[in-house]
Amino acid sequence: MTTPTIRIGSRGSELALWQANHIAALLRDKGHTVEIEVIRTIGDRMQDPNFVAPRTYADGTPIDGKGIFIKEIEEALAAGRIDLAVHSLKDLPTELESRFTLAAIPTRVDARDAFICEEHWGLHMLPMGAKIGTTSPRRQAMLLALRPDLEFVAMRGNIDTRLRKWSEGQCDALVLASAGLDRLGRTEHVHQRFSVDEITPAPGQGALGLETRKPYPAAAGPDAERDAFVYDAVRSLNDPATEFAVSAERTVLAALGGGCQLPLGAFCHRVDDHYHLHAMVVAPDGEQVAHVLRKAPVGIAAIDLGHAVAEELKALGAIELLSQTA
């Protein structure tokens, strides 16, 4: 019996392709046949300096910050052109459409943010008013909470583009996810990795989200068998510990409004027989910080842990801090 070829959809950036190839290799190790199809998203097109972004997608839904790297890939998944979308989990909105599911979350790599600078080997060594290349509201707010004198330079584009702009002198230092730099082997200029209390990572940072069509009972349709086959194959790549951690983190994000443009970080990991969930919300100017570290014994549900932390953040005024974001 021949089994179906698993078709992976991926963005064309070097990091996205690295991630898709990584998952393809894991599936091939299990005996599957895998192909990768490159899909260009609106988020990719926005990185072109001459691109004027439309307000809506072709189907009329508004383009907001949520999921700009996702839409065209999910369309291919819905249409059956691909079977599996490999995403950076932190780019994936907390709510998926009901026809899709996160079939697996493989073992996470380093979730921390990294500091890139050659002249000064740490944030605290930068001169007054140094310019950091980042457009992330979370990184900007958390950096300002540590160093109110810092200035920011808008820095979009993939990892190579940002490193090039930095090396050309457009900014003094960069803050980027360790995960992307480690995967691409571009760590030569990393001299500091921030602790999760200094700069709390974005929910899901360092993890991949493997999205498939939801498998239905065999009666559901002509592709039901294929969908069930793909789901089972992908599910075998799930890491329960990572799945727990990112579920707790994403619950915090969802409870506070969702979206990757919020100055909110959440990071969960296991320490002996407890989970530690760190979460931080910072006003855009860095002046007010709501910071929570909750420890819960193993056995708690990820969603309960996430909700408890979201409630603690709200009690510390997190909603007011987030409402200051433009």
Ligand X SMILES: NCc1[nH]cc(CCC(=O)O)c1CC(=O)O
Q: How far is the CB of 166 from ligand X (least distance, A)?
A: 12
Sorted by sequence, the CB contacts under 8 Å of residue 268 that are 6+ apart come out as 244, 245, 246, 248, 249, 275, 276, 277, 278, 302, 305
User: Each residue of 116-154: b (16+ CB within 10 Å) or e?
Assistant: bbeebeebeebeeebbbbbebbbbbbbbbbebeebebee
Rank residues 134 and 251 by Cβ distance to ligand X and give the closer one: 134
To the query of whether residue 91 is one of the catalytic residues in this protein, the response is: yes
Q: How far is the CB of 264 from ligand X (least distance, A)?
A: 14
Angle at alpha carbon of residue 258, lines to 256 and 259, rounded to 5°: 135
Contact 105, 207 (CB under 8 A): yes
Tokens standing for residue 17: 């392709």
Sorted by sequence, the CB contacts under 8 Å of residue 240 that are 6+ apart come out as none
The enclosing H or E element of 101 equals strand 100-104
**Footprint of ligand X (CB under 6 A):** 88, 90-91, 176-177, 179-180, 205-206
Rank residues 23 and 176 by Cβ distance to ligand X and give the closer one: 176
Q: How far is the CB of 52 from ligand X (least distance, A)?
A: 21
Rank residues 205 and 212 by Cβ distance to ligand X and give the closer one: 205
Nearest to 292 by CA among 323, 268, 325, 257: 268
Tokens standing for residue 110: 């380093």
Q: How far is the CB of 110 from ligand X (least distance, A)?
A: 9
Q: How far is the CB of 137 from ligand X (least distance, A)?
A: 12
Q: How far is the CB of 88 from ligand X (least distance, A)?
A: 3
Residue type, 64: D
Q: How many CB atoms lie within 10 A of CB 236?
A: 13
Residue of 91, 113, 172, 227 with catalytic role: 91
Phi, psi for 7 (deg, rounded to 5): -100, 115
Rank residues 203 and 215 by Cβ distance to ligand X and give the closer one: 203
Catalytically active residues are 91
